[in-house]
Structure 1
């Protein structure tokens, strides 16, 4: 069996290990089909997450097939599924309030516990969700990152003809722009990278701008900040119109807020982290099943797991959309 590890910052290692043991209890064994490379995967790889542990098996955007199950697992063998990569204890005060996304004992696959970039892996079935037959794997691998955006959109009310800005056009920003466009909003996407803006433009009728091209007087009903930098957060607040809202998705360490402007303009600022499971996953699946929801352009390239170095380099280049690793040929290695 092969699996991809981040041995230490800036060092990837493709390991050949013995087969995964039989799942026990409520566990299922999943044979991975596709795994998406996310910004947090790159942060772990580059050593930028202080809470990451090494060595760690990478990967948390996963779609695969259940090939074996424990005696307490209710899934059928052969079920295609996606995975919740963030654990929750179910007993802390946050979990008791239904806020499992901010569980005090949360662990994250591919960050501080082993992830799913492996030919096969075991996981508790409570972190697994079946996907419908009409959702192809290439779209199903987007369920987890799209659920992040679904959760963020629940903070505000995005309606037809509303003016929505997305600051930062990484994978999450592109998904936010795509969803706002699908919901009928008038969408403007902003990024420092023209290549990313070109990708966003392919989604549909979305206006794209480099930061310096935005008129200083232009404001928006809702602004989604998805770049995660000090400058992008501060820009997002300035772009919100009086009575508007800013939803922070990116993970900037800090930013300076113009408090007088925020107060006098009654701007509401929301923080949004990951998702509620399974509700946000189920909503993401419904969006992805709709042919009118345009996301195909977001997937830039699918690499074989043997080309993991090139895949990570492409994802880290800043010039690509979603980069996916394929494990379909893993059994031949």
Structure 2
């Protein structure tokens, strides 16, 4: 079979490997259908994630079909599934409190253990979830990245006419803008790239602005999804007194105006990945809703043989989600 592999930073190759062993105990063997390219996949490839290990097989936004199962596996052969790419021990103090998303012993597929950009891979069935038959592959592959946004939205209250700003229109930012719009909020998407504006406007009636175009306007809820110092600092500046800032991006540092935060009674929420399976199940329900406009966020589906083009396109910053297809290898 074939798989993608990052041998070291900036070296990505498609290689042939031996067939896999049979799954044991609670394991399942999954034949991959689609794999979405995430910003963290690009960071691993470029050597920008300090906790990444090499060599490593990338890929964690995974949709596939169970083709073999161990004797204690939770899913039958033929079941279409998505994958939880972050392990949790279930026994550390954080897991016991329910914070499996920040487990002290967490490992992440495609970062510090091998991911799923392979024709087939084996994983414990406790880290997979079945997909409803009425959810097409092109939406089902978004469950994992969309669950990040679903989890973030649980930090705040978004209702009809809530004013929402999304700073940064990468994949997570566009998903956040789409969900806020779906919930009836008045949404403003902020980015430096006009190509992202064209995509986000296809989702619905969402206003788009460059960062410098915001003067004295403020918002009830601000989602920061750019992951840069300037974006975090702007997010705090443009939040209404008594409002909420939700930090989705992974900026390494920022300068916080403490007196402004205190006097304005701002609430700042940190959020990372999701709770499994609850956030996945909620993501599925949104994606099944025909009124939820999400299709424009998927920009390109390319065969895995075109992996170089796919990675270059995803890294360009000019498109939405880029997906690798393993359907016809």
TM-score range, shorter chain: over 0.9
Superposition pairs for residues 72-111 of structure 1, below 5 Å? 72-111=72-111
Give the RMSD, CA atoms, in angstroms. Answer: 0.5
* 1:31 paired residue number: 31
* 1:53 paired residue number: 53
* 2:223 paired residue number: 224
- Quote how far apart the aligned CAs of 1:217 are: 1.1
* 2:321 paired residue number: 322
Superposition pairs for residues 147-162 of structure 1, below 5 Å? 147-162=147-162
Superposition pairs for residues 1-333 of structure 1, below 5 Å? 1-214=1-214, 216-330=215-329
Partner of 1:49, secondary structure, is coil
Partner of 2:203, secondary structure, is coil
- Runs of 4+ that moved beyond 2 A: none
Partner of 2:138, secondary structure, is helix
Partner of 2:205, secondary structure, is coil
- Counterparts of 2:94 and 2:140, CA distance in 1: 29
- Counterparts of 2:211 and 2:124, CA distance in 1: 44
Which sections of structure 1, spanning at least 5 residues, go unmatched? Answer: none
- Quote how far apart the aligned CAs of 1:51 are: 0.3
Partner of 1:202, secondary structure, is helix
- Counterparts of 1:312 and 1:69, CA distance in 2: 32
TM-score by length of 1: 0.98
- Residues 120-177 of structure 1: CA deviation (Å, up to 9, x unaligned): 0000000000000000010000000000000000000011100000000000000000
- Counterparts of 1:77 and 1:107, CA distance in 2: 26
Which sections of structure 2, spanning at least 5 residues, go unmatched? Answer: none
Q: 8 Å contact 2:74–2:126 — kept in the other structure?
A: no
Partner of 2:174, secondary structure, is helix
- Counterparts of 2:159 and 2:39, CA distance in 1: 28
- Residues 282-306 of structure 1: CA deviation (Å, up to 9, x unaligned): 0000000001111100000001000
- Counterparts of 1:66 and 1:137, CA distance in 2: 15
- Residues 9-60 of structure 1: CA deviation (Å, up to 9, x unaligned): 1110111011111000100000000000000000101100000001100100
- Counterparts of 1:310 and 1:328, CA distance in 2: 18
- Quote how far apart the aligned CAs of 1:211 are: 0.7
